[in-house]
Amino acid sequence: MTDPLRPDVLRPDVLIGAALPPVTMAALERAFTVHRLWDNPGDDALAQVRGMAASTLAGPIGAALFERMPALEVIANFGVGYDNIDIAAAAARGIVVTNTAGVLDEEVADLAIGLLLATLRRIPAGDRFVRDGHWTDASFPLSPSLRGRRVGIVGLGGIGKAIARRLGAFAVDIAYHGRTQQQGVGYPWYPTALALAQACDVLIVVVPGGAQTRHMIDADVLAALGADGVLINVSRGTVANEDALIAALQKGTILAAGLDVFAHEPHVPEALRALDNVVLLPHVGSGSVVTRAAMGQAMVGNLSAWFATRQPPNVVPETRHLAG
């Protein structure tokens, strides 16, 4: 068995798709012979690449790049979602794809709850009210409340369950939508996002991105959520129809939204930025020093395990048959 972390063992060539946190870059450089996509490596260099450290910052990763890397065996993604990777093209080429599932669940769940409270209790607006000196002249308007609400979680995976555990402390009713009803889960299940929205007045969206979930939150779902409804999205911007969401916020179809993700990041429509019933964050769900370091460690661990044993711990379902 080889150990790519030992300096006396040949180090596999790995392509880094976009700059990662310094601690992760250093770990990759210690373990592998590193090539950087932004340095425009030539075809001779890419032909030697056996692994790739990927992230959403690298943009779409698919067949055109795979053609230039005939030796590519594994892609380790920095994050849980991997809709940045053409998974069908990877599987067709026999390329195993891994992610960092489980590492960031608690951090994203923390942020989702924080974003929910910030949106309902208008915390950013209250901060601006004090900073701008208005408190000496008037009282801050009363806000909506979390009390008495029914919260629907769209996607009850690891992050969704972590959110549900936190919501339990707030004594609110919880329901969920997923592709199938989960055994051993006590929350009510609804077969569609529309049905869940009809039964709830808060939706927290934590499904993966990609074609299957594109515009899952559409005008009909938002209308069903209602004029007192709140949408929290910490998944992918493509999951919500952004034009429909803007219209719903402008017209009062829903009360408010808290968004950590957008359709064309980092570009956020001016129409959203102009609204005072939306809280906007720059896609920071997992964005703590501790969690990003743990994600990097998991990504490097996936690459190392592949080259050592062909059995990395976090292979995504679509390529699981290729590992081992």
Spatial contact of 82 and 46, defined as CB atoms under 8 Å apart: no
**Is there a catalytic annotation at residue 283?**
yes
User: Residue 258 pairs with which residues in a beta bridge?
Assistant: 232, 279
Largest CA distance in the chain: 72
**Is there a catalytic annotation at residue 214?**
no
Spatial contact of 54 and 24, defined as CB atoms under 8 Å apart: no
DSSP state of 100: -
**Is there a catalytic annotation at residue 265?**
yes
Please tell me the total number of residues recorded for the chain in this structure. Answer: 324
**Residue 321 token pair:** 């048959």
Query: Given 265, 310, 320, 321, which residue is catalytic?
Result: 265
What is the number of other CB atoms lying within 10 angstroms of the CB of residue 47? 14
DSSP state of 28: H
**Residue 132 token pair:** 């701008």
Burial of 169 (0-12, 13-18, 19+ CB in 10 A): exposed
Q: Distance (Å, rounded) from C-alpha 159 to C-alpha 104?
A: 8
Q: Distance (Å, rounded) from C-alpha 188 to C-alpha 174?
A: 7
Q: Distance (Å, rounded) from C-alpha 16 to C-alpha 19?
A: 7
**Residue 21 token pair:** 């946190």
Q: Cβ neighbours of residue 320 under 8 Å, at least 6 residues apart?
A: none
Query: Given 122, 236, 242, 292, which residue is catalytic?
Result: 236
Query: Given 11, 68, 283, 318, which residue is catalytic?
Result: 283
- Enzyme catalytic residues: 236, 265, 283
